Amino acid sequence: MVKIIKLSDKNIIILGIESSCDDTSASVLINGAIKSNIVANQEVHQKFGGVVPELASRAHQQNIIPVVDAAIDAANIDKKDISAIAFTRGPGLLGSLIVGTSFSKSLALALDIPLVEVNHMHGHILAHFIKNETNLYPSFPFICMTVSGGHTQLVVVKDYFDMEVIGETIDDAAGEAFDKAAKIMGIPYPGGPLIDKYAKDGDPKKFKFPVSNLKDYNYSFSGLKTSILYFLQKEMAKDSNFIEDNKADICASYQATIIKSLFKKLVKATRDLGIKDVAIAGGVSANSLLRSELKRIGIQENWNTFIPPFEYTTDNAGMIAIAGHHKYLKGEFVGQDVTPNARLVV
Ligand code: KG4
Ligand code: ZN
């Protein structure tokens, strides 16, 4: 549904709502700048070693009103001044998406303002266009390596909503590779940030894990996960303290292997396509080695690199609001008949 909005010199105020997985988030964006970005994490999943969909939907239901209220309060705006509501339509867990979608539809109806649907993966990438102090943004076309708990993709971004996935994982996502190895080692969920932390004191060359070698720009991480499982089973059979005594070196070696395979395909893609603007996005882009390697390899390859601030790497509504802002400018709205799509593609 396209509705023509008269863009006077009024501020564009977007309320973004994100509920695709286990974070309930709301953000207020004014003219492309973040005024508030509230994220409620769901600790309930920790003891299960992964997200339990049924519990996630229930927690979203509890959190959504306080989180939206907090975002509006922190931005110091009146609900009546909001120009549009942007929400995550997918991909994600259906029960979680339903909470954010239904809430957004109801609030848009109550406030009589337009509703904008956002693809979560577009949100991760478009987070690079949130107004920042440097005023430096990627130029189209650029390549974004989107690495999260559910996705690992190399995306050629030709325009805000014209994106082509040129490579992706054929099995586990990079974030899953972190989280599953953490689970094997008895590290709580989500394991990615903790592996990153332990790896800082470890030797990345101490243990060898295989780097997948698929053709084109695709990735595979399931072999790596199996290799660490067998490796640790074998070592633990000999010495039951092996994981505890070697935690830092295991984490550093395993992390270095993931990051190495990510860059192998990214470098190939930029060389093949002659693209020099390179960005990373998604939860795993919070990883310290990934961030430092992007800078180091970027200098070698003569790239202009774009690393998102930490608060826009893992799931947050600021990234949904900026995507919503650009759709708002195009007048791309959806009606009350919109439904979430757990398998929405880029
Ligand atoms: O984008 P995100 O918040 O949610 C999805 O859309 O999946 O990404 C979450 C993923 C988890 O797998 C988490 O372990 C990983 O991002 N992650 C990290 C780090 N911080 C978050 N992985 C490695 N190093 C980190 N510092
Ligand atoms: Zn995400």
Tens digits of pLDDT across the chain (346 residues): 555 555 455 899 999 999 999 999 999 999 999 999 999 988 888 878 788 899 999 999 999 999 999 999 999 999 999 999 999 999 999 999 999 999 999 999 999 999 999 999 999 999 999 999 999 999 999 999 999 999 999 999 999 999 999 999 999 999 999 999 999 999 998 999 999 999 999 999 999 999 988 989 999 999 999 999 999 999 999 999 999 999 999 999 999 999 999 999 999 999 999 999 999 999 999 999 999 999 999 999 999 999 999 999 999 999 999 999 999 999 999 999 999 999 999 9
Query: Could you tell me the maximum CA-CA distance found in the chain, to the nearest angstrom?
Result: 72
d(Cα 308, Cα 285) in Å, to the nearest integer? 8
For the CA of 191, the nearest atom of ligand 1: 14
| Ligand 1 pocket, residue 114 CB under 6 Å | no
For the CA of 315, the nearest atom of ligand 1: 3
Pocket test for ligand 1, best of 41, 183, 280, 314 (most atoms within 8 A of CB): 314
| Ligand 1 pocket, residue 16 CB under 6 Å | no
| Ligand 1 pocket, residue 196 CB under 6 Å | yes
What tokens does 215 get? Answer: 């053709």
| Ligand 1 pocket, residue 100 CB under 6 Å | no
CA 259–ligand 1 middle distance (angstroms): 13
| Ligand 1 pocket, residue 286 CB under 6 Å | yes
CA 282–ligand 1 middle distance (angstroms): 7
Residue nearest to atom 24 of ligand 1 (CA): 287
Does this model's pTM top 0.85? My answer is yes
d(Cα 295, Cα 215) in Å, to the nearest integer? 26
Residues 202, 249 contacting (CB under 8 angstroms): yes
Residues 126, 323 contacting (CB under 8 angstroms): yes
| Ligand 1 pocket, residue 189 CB under 6 Å | no
Q: Which long-range contacts (CB under 8 A, 24 or more apart) does 50-58 make?
A: 50/179, 50/183, 50/189, 51/21, 51/22, 51/93, 51/189, 53/93, 53/94, 53/95, 53/96, 54/95, 56/21, 56/22, 56/93, 56/95, 56/96, 57/93, 57/95, 57/96, 57/98, 57/99
Letter string b/e over residues 319-336, b meaning 16 or more CB atoms within 10 A of that residue's CB:
bbbbbbbbbbeeebbbee
- CA-based torsion, 252, 257, 262, 265: positive or negative: positive
| Ligand 1 pocket, residue 318 CB under 6 Å | no
